[in-house]
Amino acid sequence: MNLNYLFSLLAVTVLFLVPWVGVDILGKKELFGLIIPYFAVLIFIGGFIHRIIHWAQSPVPFRIPTTCGQGQSLSWIKQNKIDNPSTTMGVILRMILEIVCFRSLFRNIRLEYREGKHISYEWEKWLWLGALAFHWSFFVIIIRHMRFFTEPVPFFIKALEDLDGFLQIGLPGIFISGFVLLAAVLYLFFRRIYIHQVRYISLASDYFPLFLIMAIAISGIIMRYFTKVDIISVKEMTMGLVTFHPVVKEGVHTIVYVHLFLVCVLIAYFPFSKLMHSGGIFMSPTRNLANTTRVKRHINPWNYPVPVHTYEAYESEFREKMKEAGLPVEKE
């Protein structure tokens, strides 16, 4: 236990209780059902765009891709066109692999100090697997939730639901994604606690989103499987939000407000946090540039003249010695 961990847990616990108090005791349904969601979305969109523009305002003065394979060279040498791209297509493929498959994380290996003298590097794909499970299940859940904001519900959302629920256990049917997300987020949390190096580098702002997402997943699971939630009223409310005719329905369980509030906190927190890695990855100059600086000149917008030591100055200093050594000189 350390302070960072405790603070984040405390913060999320408080956030969990806020809507209970707000809705159940104070009866502020409009605040939690309408005003906060609108504000959160505004902050998210505005903050996200602002951050991207903020990054984009700084130029990329040098072309510095990290090359992870053979570069473009002689015609008979096989280039690794994805890990060391020289074309836009190569860069796009590299970025797709990175963003969709976490290519770099897949390279992960673990250091082992063996008894005896050798150091070895062990198979370690758990982080990659955990990260994939986390992000993909989150993605599936977001798409699934689009059913609350669309009418009629598009076919692909229904198809995804069928796929997600293919186990057909229980009633209502179990969606795998929710449990995968919870398991993955727990894994990411426990590895942060368990691996002492990772624990050492972890900040409160690393634990906070994990606890928050845990709370969102748990409140979601409670809603779906344990409490009777009036789905029709919920959908009327969510449709009201997206069509800008917001309404508050009576008889909606407080857990719905809790779930919604936590999601609002997450998206409002998003642009100011490390969660912006989702936007930043697209702008990372070591990944999104082709390795072509020897082929095509890259322009640095702030390139400025610098003092140099000219040949003339050099020869002036060493002329006699150069002549004596038989080196050609410009001025005799």
Partner 1 sequence: MADELKPEELLNQTRQNHQSNPPITSWMDTPTIIRKGMYCYASNPKSVEYLGLPNARKWNPIEDDWKLPDNWQEIIHKGFKERLERFRSIKVFMDICVRCGACADKCHFFIGTGDPKNMPVLRAELIRSIYRNDFTSAGKIFGRLAGARKMTLDVLKEWWYYFFQCSECRRCSVYCPYGIDTAEITILGRELLNLIGLNIDWIATPVANCYRTGNHLGIQPHAFKEMIEFFCEDIEEITELKLEPNFNKKGADILFITPSGDVFADPGTYTCMGYLMLFHYLKEKYGLEVTWSTYASEGGNFGFFTSHETMKRLNSKMYAEAKRLGVKWILGGECGHMWRVIQQYMSTMNGPADFLEVPVSPITGTKFENAKETKMVHIAEFTADLIKHGKLDLNPSRNDKYKITFHDSCNPSRGMGLLEEPRYVINQTCNHFYEMPTNTIREQTFCCGSGSGLNAGENIELRMAGGLPRANAVKYVHEKFGVNMLACICAVDRAALPTLMEYWVPDVGVIGLHELVANALILPGECERTTDLRGEPLSEEEGE
Residues 62-101 that bind partner 1 (CB under 8 A): 62-64, 66-74, 76-80, 83-84, 86, 98
Q: How far apart (Å, rounded) are the C-alpha atoms in residues 299 and 133?
A: 40
**Residue 331 in the binding site for partner 1 (CB under 8 A):** no
Q: How far is the CB of 318 from partner 1 (least distance, A)?
A: 5
**Residue 299 in the binding site for partner 1 (CB under 8 A):** yes
Q: How far is the CB of 8 from partner 1 (least distance, A)?
A: 9
Q: How far is the CB of 181 from partner 1 (least distance, A)?
A: 17
Q: Is the bond preceding residue 305 a cis peptide, omega within 30 degrees? A: no
User: How many residues contact partner 1, by CB under 8 A?
Assistant: 100
CB 62 within 8 A of CB 298: yes
Q: Is the dihedral of CA 42, 7, 281, 159 positive or negative?
A: negative
Mask of contacts with partner 1, 219-258, x by CB under 8 A? ----------------------------------------
Of 154-162, 164-172, 239-247, 274-282, the segment contacting partner 1 by CB under 8 A is 274-282
The token duo for 7 is: 């603070």
Helix axes 3-19 and 254-269, enclosed angle (nearest 10):
130
- Helix boundaries (H) for the chain: 3-19, 29-30, 36-56, 88-101, 103-106, 126-145, 155-164, 176-194, 196-201, 204-225, 231-242, 254-269, 277-280, 311-324
**Residue 274 in the binding site for partner 1 (CB under 8 A):** yes
Question: Which CB sits closer to partner 1, 146 or 193?
Answer: 193
Binds partner 1 (CB under 8 A): choice among 53, 171, 325, 331: 325
Binding to partner 1 in span 18-57, by CB under 8 A: 51, 54-57
Q: How far apart (Å, rounded) are the C-alpha atoms in residues 223 and 254?
A: 10
**Residue 104 in the binding site for partner 1 (CB under 8 A):** yes
**Taking Cα atoms as reference points, which of 29, 4, 25 lies closest to residue 256?**
29
Binds partner 1 (CB under 8 A): choice among 4, 34, 48, 157: 4
Q: How far apart (Å, rounded) are the C-alpha atoms in residues 313 and 161?
A: 75
Binds partner 1 (CB under 8 A): choice among 172, 197, 226, 245: 197
**Taking Cα atoms as reference points, which of 140, 184, 134 lies closest to residue 162?**
140
**Residue 202 in the binding site for partner 1 (CB under 8 A):** yes
Binding to partner 1 in span 109-168, by CB under 8 A: 109-111, 113, 117-119, 121, 127, 131
